[in-house]
């Protein structure tokens, strides 16, 4: 992987409350996987000395490495985009509480199969698939029994940006509340417009292959109401 060999160019950002690192497609964002972002960061810590490294070293003293250094979000392996780390315990706790209360909004960009002419909100309950560990399910008229019996209610908003008639694909700005595993992927597939490059959801008739899943996390916002 060229990005691992050229770690000195790890893309990073910084604001008042968080440090951000851009994760490539098809790289795990959590520990326990080979060549995850945490292995990249461990190597980065060993070879660099900057504000981000100081923060991570401080966080290691409070949270174990397994606690992921106050990492606030996790991205699916095929999803690219921003991982963000809280700069303090207070910020981390505030973020997690906002997520639990539905006061956290996350933003993504993506490309879906088909034409979308106006903003669409998808509000369908999501649960772990009762038989397949690698995927989720959305509620239908029968409401399949969920693994563990727990359904979660989140919404996904798709705002069309541009449509390419030659490929029958629409670029979209995606806004989600809270966030659960595979939320965007299964919500898009549930309306017959899976993300381009999707391999788990959709049908053989509406999937479109690509070098990688066309989905990237671009930001987040905490709301007061």
User: Hey, where are the domains in the chain?
Assistant: 2-100, 105-222
User: 168 exposed, middle or buried (CB, 10 Å; 0-12, 13-18, 19+)?
Assistant: middle
Measure the CA–CA gap between 167 and 46, rounded to whole angstroms: 45
Could you say which residues of the chain have pLDDT below 50? 1-4, 141, 146-147
pTM of the shown model: 0.85
Write down the pLDDT at residue 99: 85
Tell me the two tokens of residue 135. Answer: 């995927």
Write down the pLDDT at residue 174: 98
Write down the pLDDT at residue 43: 72
pLDDT digits (tens, 9 = 90+) for 187-212: 999 999 999 999 999 888 899 999 99
Write down the pLDDT at residue 1: 45
Measure the CA–CA gap between 221 and 69, rounded to whole angstroms: 20
Task: Return the CATH superfamily for domain 105-222.
Answer: Pseudouridine synthase (3.30.2350.10)
Helix, strand, coil distribution of the chain in percent, nearest 5: 25, 30, 45
Measure the CA–CA gap between 27 and 80, rounded to whole angstroms: 8
Q: Residue 170 CB: number of other CB atoms within 10 A?
A: 21
Count of helices and strands (H, E) across the chain: 5, 10
CA of residue 109 relative to chain centroid, distance: 11
Write down the pLDDT at residue 9: 56
Measure the CA–CA gap between 183 and 81, rounded to whole angstroms: 16
Write down the pLDDT at residue 193: 96
């Amino acid at each position: 992987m060229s990005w691992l060999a050229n770690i000195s160019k790890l893309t990073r950002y910084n604001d008042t409350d968080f440090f951000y690192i851009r994760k490539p497609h098809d790289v795990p964002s959590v520990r326990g996987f080979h060549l995850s972002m945490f292995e990249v960061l461990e190597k980065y810590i060993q070879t660099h000395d900057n504000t981000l490294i100081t923060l991570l070293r401080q966080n290691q003293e409070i949270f174990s490495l397994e606690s992921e250094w106050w990492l606030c979000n996790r991205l699916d392996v095929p999803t690219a985009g921003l991982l963000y780390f809280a700069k303090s315990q207070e910020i981390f706790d505030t973020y997690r509480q906002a997520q639990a209360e539905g006061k956290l909004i996350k933003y993504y960009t993506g490309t879906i199969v088909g034409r979308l002419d106006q903003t669409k909100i998808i509000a369908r309950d999501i649960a772990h698939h009762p038989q397949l560990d690698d995927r989720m399910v959305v509620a239908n008229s029968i409401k399949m029994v969920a693994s563990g019996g727990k359904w979660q209610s989140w919404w996904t908003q798709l705002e069309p940006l541009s449509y390419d008639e030659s490929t029958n694909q629409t670029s979209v700005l995606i806004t989600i509340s809270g966030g659960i595993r595979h939320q965007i992927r299964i919500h898009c597939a549930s309306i017959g417009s899976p993300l381009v490059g999707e391999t788990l959801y959709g049908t053989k008739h509406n999937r479109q292959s690509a070098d990688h899943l066309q989905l990237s996390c671009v930001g987040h916002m905490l709301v007061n109401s």
